A and B are shown apart, each in its own frame.
Chain A
Amino acid sequence: MRRTLWLLIALALVVAYPLVFTTPFQQRLGALVLLYAIAASAWNIVGGYAGQISVGHVVFFGCGAYAAMGAYTHFALSPLVGIPAGIVFAVLIAAVIGRPTLRLSGHYFSMATIAVAELARLIVTNTEYLGAAVGLSGPTVARNVFDLSFISALPYYYLFLAVLIITLAITWWMTRSRMGFYLRAIKDSERAARSLGAPASRIKLYAYMLSAGLTSVAGALYAMMFGFVDPESGLGILISVKILIMAALGGAGLLFGPFVGAAILVPLEEISNSLLGGKGAGLTFVVYGAIIVLIARFQPGGILALINRLWAKRRAKPMDESIAQEAGHAS
């Protein structure tokens, strides 16, 4: 009950944010937080709940981005049309690469996903149809509202918020379903789960495909907002890493962990770049990196796990059951 109340308050604050902070840069910052929160939440399904650390998620991000820009470039359609196409591609690719790679455990799975991502980047760089090294661009001057090419960041903000809510709702529903219990069992000990009859390979593959589809939506939204994708910005390994760090920093395996991570890292990156970027080469990344190192050193379970723990301590009463469960998971 209390949890629902806090959720509603948080939601109200997020909804009100762009109405309180009204400059274009602040609104855009808010939209970017939500965008990365979508991508990180999608990663969380397979990386957090199933414990399979994919470092190649940018492949699915790229599927969405290229599908959206491709729909415009090759068929003069609204980039929105690319979203379902991107999802289909992403889920198919996830199925094809997931079957063999999900058998690998631990680091080997991560390495395999990196290899796939780099391969995709190289293939696209040499594919004329996908703009090769030059990239594909979207509608620069909006023909109609469906081109989603707005001056203000406000429409993007609420669009991204809606998609984020859907993503989190799917994740929540998944954790409550039979699949969620299987995933947690697999994460704790895959061998034990298998011996108890959990269809581990199949469940991991489903989680991977679901995660891939949602990540591709984030990619498509990204491409629509910026109106451009090239191999580096759509399939560069750094995007995967960024998504992963956000989820881990906020709290992997927690429903709102990735959102918290995005809400910290995106403003940190943009603001440190704004304040320091023009002055000295690379100073931004020194500050950005230092904060990540500090959090990783002192709070490896993620910020949200820390907040949950402090919250639990402050109240002498027994903890709310679900929070206790989540905090227990992260530590």
Chain B
Amino acid sequence: MRFSHVIGLFSAAAMSAALVGNAAAQSKTVKIGGIFPMSGNAASIGVHVKHAFDVALDIINNPHPELGNFPLAKNGGLAGLGGAKVEIVYADNQGSPATGQNQALRLITEEKVVALTGAYQSGITLTASAIAEKYNIPFVNGESVAPNLTERGFKWFFRVTPIATDFARVYYEFLNDMKAAGAKTDNIAILHDNTEYGASVANTLTTAFKEKGIAVALDVAYATNATDVQSQVLQLKEKKPDVVIAISYTSDAILFAKTMQALDYKPPMLLADDSGYSDPSFIKAVGKISQGVFNRSSWSVGPAGSPTAIIAKMYKDKSGDDMDDTVARQMQALFVLCEAIDRAGSTEPAKIQAALKATDLKPDQIMMGYKGVKFDDKGQNILASGLIIQLQDGENYVSVWPKASAEKTPIMPYKGW
């Protein structure tokens, strides 16, 4: 029976790997663990986040005076730690909650990272952050939106991204402002598919609107990957709602745009919920016949010369792709974490945790369109919010609301084609 030798061999391999890792660590670097999907069906996320983090590390570790007030940009390294450089140790979660948790443990105990970020898929963020909680290591998440993540009573988990209830607030406030500007917004219809995503967002919106005293007059559901949506469009055409909120994946969103043109139906206001309507292939396919559609996002490039525009350009040069909402939110989480480490002036997890709790970033100190970053007791960013963007004059979304971050004024009513 030689299998015990085999175990020994592999354990020795694991140990030597750990030793090599330690030898490479320098006293002047701050190691942060990044757990992302680098293989499996979400592998492209890992590729993009690496480019984004390279850009972020460039900004943090090298002087970038052109970014002005943006935290950590002015000088090289973390000033609070005597100019220490930040390094990311990546791990592949392989799209599996188990692997994500194993890798979190490895990063904490073998690589000695001082904090973690990741892990994209909500289920993996859940298991990976559970290990961080047990080892008292801060975990800053930028992109997982499952509500239960911040309902676990964790003390080491911080989430920067807005979640469905925040989006509901964005829609509500946007519609209120539009109403004040003279648009009719009393009669709302929600159009959604019957997937987990479509049903849960529609449900959250309906509940949130009800609390504010607005009843959703019409709820139109359809089966995703539909081949025909004429009856849904005719239903909307007949009821004439003032606002149609559309929650759809890409192929359905394209079908709706085409069907609406074929049946000559234009709602006064069409408000989309990210996903399908943000997909570049949606804009390519039907952008020209969807002019004036409103959409939500937390990322906007901003005016030329602004920090966000500079960051967007750095990212495009690095990756060849335009910055999208997801990768921007992940990048923002890394900035929030590094800013806290800098302010803590220490790599001690407890001090970083205290600094994260005291985080109070203003809108001009962040790259996302949030109202700032400030965590509640559960670790949720209470200032997380979104922007409303609109497809105007061609094939690009421009931010139109709130006023503070608007590039253009919203155009009403929906123009279509």
Interface residues of chain A, those whose CB is within 8 Å of chain B, are 6-7, 9-10, 13-14, 17, 21, 23-26, 28-30, 32-33, 132-135, 137, 140-141, 151, 222, 226-228, 230, 232-233, 256, 259-260, 263-264, 267-268, 270-271, 273-275, 277-282, 284-285, 304, 307
Find chain A residues with CB under 8 A from B102 CB.
25, 28, 32, 270
The 8 Å CB contact of B134, one of A26, A151, A304, A307, is A151
Query: Is B103's CB under 8 angstroms from A277's CB?
Result: yes
User: Within 8 Å of chain A (Cβ to Cβ): is B47?
Assistant: yes
Instruction: Kindly name the residue among B14, B122, B146 whose own CB sees the greatest number of chain A CB atoms within 10 A.
Output: B14
Q: Assuming A29-B11, A134-B146, A228-B126, is B1 touching A274 (CB within 8 A)?
A: no
A133→B200 CA distance, assembly (Å): 11
Query: Is B47's CB under 8 angstroms from A281's CB?
Result: yes
User: What is the distance, in angstroms, from A188's C-beta to the closest C-beta of chain B?
Assistant: 27
A304→B90 CA distance, assembly (Å): 36
The 8 Å CB contact of A277, one of B91, B126, B130, is B91
User: What is the distance, in angstroms, from A165's C-beta to the closest C-beta of chain B?
Assistant: 15
Query: Is B123's CB under 8 angstroms from A228's CB?
Result: yes
Find chain B residues with CB under 8 A from A282 CB.
38-39, 43
Q: Assuming A10-B4, A233-B96, A284-B92, is B14 touching A226 (CB within 8 A)?
A: no
Mark out the residues of chain B between 383 and 412 whose CB falls within 8 Å of any chain A CB in the assembled complex.
Answer: none
User: What is the distance, in angstroms, from A124's C-beta to the closest C-beta of chain B?
Assistant: 12
Q: Pick 11 A–B contacts, CB within 8 A, sort by A.
A: A28-B102, A135-B123, A226-B127, A228-B130, A259-B3, A260-B3, A277-B91, A277-B92, A277-B94, A281-B39, A282-B43
Name the prevailing secondary structure of the A interface residues.
helix
User: Within 8 Å of chain A (Cβ to Cβ): is B263?
Assistant: no
Find chain B residues with CB under 8 A from A232 CB.
95-96, 123
User: Within 8 Å of chain A (Cβ to Cβ): is B106?
Assistant: yes
Query: Is A268's CB under 8 angstroms from B153's CB?
Result: no
User: Within 8 Å of chain A (Cβ to Cβ): is B304?
Assistant: no
Query: Is B18's CB under 8 angstroms from A23's CB?
Result: yes
Closest to B111 in A: A274
Closest to B146 in A: A134
A10→B99 CA distance, assembly (Å): 28
User: What is the distance, in angstroms, from B242's C-beta to the closest C-beta of chain A?
Assistant: 32
The 8 Å CB contact of B106, one of A134, A274, A284, is A274
Q: Assuming A137-B148, A140-B133, A230-B123, is B11 touching A13 (CB within 8 A)?
A: no
Closest to B5 in A: A13
User: What is the distance, in angstroms, from A69's C-beta to the closest C-beta of chain B?
Assistant: 12
User: What is the distance, in angstroms, from B139's C-beta to the closest C-beta of chain A?
Assistant: 12
User: Within 8 Å of chain A (Cβ to Cβ): is B46?
Assistant: yes
A30→B4 CA distance, assembly (Å): 11
Find chain B residues with CB under 8 A from A29 CB.
10-11, 14
A228→B104 CA distance, assembly (Å): 15
User: Within 8 Å of chain A (Cβ to Cβ): is B152?
Assistant: yes
Query: Is A277's CB under 8 angstroms from B39's CB?
Result: yes
